[in-house]
Chain A
Amino acid sequence: MKQIRQIIERMVTVMLTLSGSVTSLAILLIIIFLFKEGFGLFSSPSVEKGYALCVQTSNPIETLTPEQIKKIFDYEITTWDEVGGSKEEIMVFRFDDIFSMYPEEEFGTDYELLPEKLGEVIAQNPYIIAYIPEQYLPQKNTSVKTLPQKNIQITDFFGGKEWLPTATPSPQFGVLPLIMGTLWVSFFAILIALPLGMGVAIYMSELAGARTRKLLKPAIELLAGIPSVVYGFFGLVVLVPLIQKALNLPVGETAFAGSLILAIMALPTIITIAEDAMGGTPRAMREASLALGATRWQTIYKVIVPYASSGIMAAVVLGIGRAIGETMAVLMVTGNAAVMPNSLFQSVRTIPATIAAELGEAPAGGAHYQSLFLLGCILFVITMLISASAEIISKRQHNKEI
């Protein structure tokens, strides 16, 4: 009998250890997967895979940056001297254009004559830039020069200010507006939610009677249970027009709308955790303060809030975490314009919204797909940094008080 119990006990221990290690292993694997997929981006070519850019051999241009390529194909750069060449006008040629120049029969049954025709076009136009698939490169034609392929640069990714991941031939992966947009919205969300949340937490733990608290607490917890899509819908239909009318703005989908919605969503987290922390203040400390002649308010801000400061800090961190990672509600109310934020009343695009909106159609394994994973990595690092720094701050504060 005793032996059986021992065996069972050992089995339970093993199972508990196993479940613990499996969980940590799963987390580790997810992180490794995330970073592996993400950093693959920097070994992808800056021009779409399988395609090449060609110019005539007489053209002195040797390389083009992704930004220059994009501007040329958008007709924003129209002469070669803007990118270091001669003063002639650039002729932009996309692969599909060939089919409007020659009848389909001339390419042969298996398109074996296609490279020849492409070579012909490039040879005839000295100021052409052609965007064509690598498999149809006119290799034998000596008047065709292929521009060397460069990989996507880290500096272009983290320093770029344009997010146009589906632009052809050269997608723009400037992630700066997305990072700034995420931090911008979350920062103002916490700025709104913190005083409000603290107020409610103090009221609930110190001032409210037992009956009010019994009513208020489940109501606030209910707020946390509302799906974020519902918040987003409410924001789009009610909050956005309201903000637009009240502040007389040209657009209602602004960072401010996002911050407001996020603040409402972060409130329950902040309130419940802060209230729990304050409720944990020992009765002896409270009574000692009151016995010394301190008023109720003095007790709150001199004794209870400092005592609960680490708990309040945790509330703030979890609130920020909720705000930064929130996807659906923000996707619906911020307008998702990838611009550098410089005012609250302007549309912004956040990292989670970008991932949610774009992953569906990004071809698996492509540069766009990898860039979205890298965005996930950035999000992960941001949340990690925030929680780590908050931990340090709360520890230091705690030591000081005692």
Chain B
Amino acid sequence: MKKTILTTVILIVALFSAQAQRIKGSDTMLPLSQKAAEEFMKIKPSYAVTVTGGGSGVGITALLDGTTDLAQLSRKIKFDEKNKLKAKGKTVKEVTAAYDALAIVVHPSNKVTNLTREQLEGIFTGKIKNWKEVGGANMPIVPYSRETSSGTYEFFKESVLKKKNYMSGIMSMPATGAIIQSISQTKGAIGYVGLAYLNKQVKAIHVSYDQGKTYIKPSVANAKNKTYPIVRPLYYYYDTAKESKVKPFINYILSAKGQKIVSQVGFITVK
């Protein structure tokens, strides 16, 4: 009798541990993975999915150490990260789960609606200091940035500043909410936030990546048809050896239901 109980317990534990999944990485993707995991576990109660943040770099390190099954990254895997994984005998597979667009925002009273990438670069590297230089009123520009720990900070630097450094002494805010708050109460302010965070307190700028020929409004539709330029893919990475274990969740995210969650949390669907 005792033996049967023991074996069933072991079996149940084995069953659960086989279907427990750990997801770790980017904070940007946290709401998506969290929501998707909740819904996923409703459909398949035998699965236990745990989601933790910490940043894209943390996700890759965890994948390297084998302490996570899925790494969520708001950027592409870096070359030396790939190398490190290779050195450990792991080959990773990449899945694009969603897209995230960054919107450039200013104070609602600002007359400027259009900016080119070059102008944005000038503003955030400190070369353009007054709104009248880009066709606005005569008032100083106050650029707001995120803190260095944020993946958004890196993405903006890569996409808009072409890897140049932000001006030294840029105002940096600890969270997206703080950026919106500050911009909504500062007349000369400019900053960047995820598309999902856009609201009436701030005004979104139309951006041109072709020297001012076309200015594109940041919107889900424009990000989807790839006309809006400041868009980044959001990835899941996993070890190919563990493919069978994570496949159900990946399939769920890519399914119609999963993609509905993607748009619910404010990202852009892949299909």
Q: A306 an interface residue at 8 Å Cβ cutoff?
A: no
A45-56 CB contact bits vs B (8 Å, 1 = yes)?
Answer: 000001000000
Q: CA of A177 to CA of B163 in the docked complex: distance in angstroms?
A: 24
Asked whether A253 lies within 8 Å of B182 as measured between CB atoms, the reply is yes
Asked whether A237 lies within 8 Å of B181 as measured between CB atoms, the reply is yes
Chain B, interface size category, equals 20 to 34
Q: CA of A339 to CA of B163 in the docked complex: distance in angstroms?
A: 22
B152-180 CB contact bits vs A (8 Å, 1 = yes)?
Answer: 00100000000111101111111000100
A270-314 CB contact bits vs B (8 Å, 1 = yes)?
Answer: 000000000000000000000000000000000000000000000
- Collect the chain B residues with CB atoms within 8 Å of residue A209's CB: none
Asked whether B55 lies within 8 Å of A357 as measured between CB atoms, the reply is no
Q: CA of A75 to CA of B181 in the docked complex: distance in angstroms?
A: 33
A179-218 CB contact bits vs B (8 Å, 1 = yes)?
Answer: 0000000000000000000000000000000000000000
Q: A378 an interface residue at 8 Å Cβ cutoff?
A: no
Question: When A241-B185, A252-B185, A363-B57 are in contact, do A339 and B168 touch as well, CB less than 8 Å?
Answer: yes
Q: B7 an interface residue at 8 Å Cβ cutoff?
A: no
- Collect the chain A residues with CB atoms within 8 Å of residue B181's CB: 236-237
Q: What is the interface of chain A mostly: helix, strand, loop, or mixed?
A: loop
A332-354 CB contact bits vs B (8 Å, 1 = yes)?
Answer: 10011111000000010100000
State how many angstroms separate the Cβ of A216 from the closest Cβ of chain B: 34
Asked whether A164 lies within 8 Å of B165 as measured between CB atoms, the reply is yes
Q: A172 an interface residue at 8 Å Cβ cutoff?
A: yes
Which of A165, A250, A357 meets B142, CB within 8 Å?
A250
Within 8 A of A (CB), among B101-143: 125, 139-140, 142
Q: A96 an interface residue at 8 Å Cβ cutoff?
A: yes
Q: B39 an interface residue at 8 Å Cβ cutoff?
A: no
How many residues from A make CB contacts under 8 Å with B? 46
Q: B80 an interface residue at 8 Å Cβ cutoff?
A: yes
Within 8 A of B (CB), among A101-140: 110-111, 133, 135
Within 8 A of B (CB), among A7-30: none
State how many angstroms separate the Cβ of A251 from the closest Cβ of chain B: 5
A222-259 CB contact bits vs B (8 Å, 1 = yes)?
Answer: 00000000000000110011001000001111000000
Q: A80 an interface residue at 8 Å Cβ cutoff?
A: no
B interface residue numbers (CB < 8 A to A): 55, 57, 79-80, 83, 86, 125, 139-140, 142, 147-150, 154, 163-166, 168-174, 178, 181-182, 185-189
Cross-chain pairs A/B with CB under 8 angstroms, 11 sampled: A133-B79, A163-B168, A164-B166, A166-B154, A250-B142, A251-B142, A251-B189, A336-B171, A338-B169, A361-B149, A362-B149
Q: A250-B139, A357-B147, A357-B174 are in contact. List 10 more A-B contacts (CB 8 A).
A: A73-B165, A165-B148, A251-B188, A331-B174, A336-B172, A337-B169, A347-B171, A357-B172, A360-B55, A361-B57
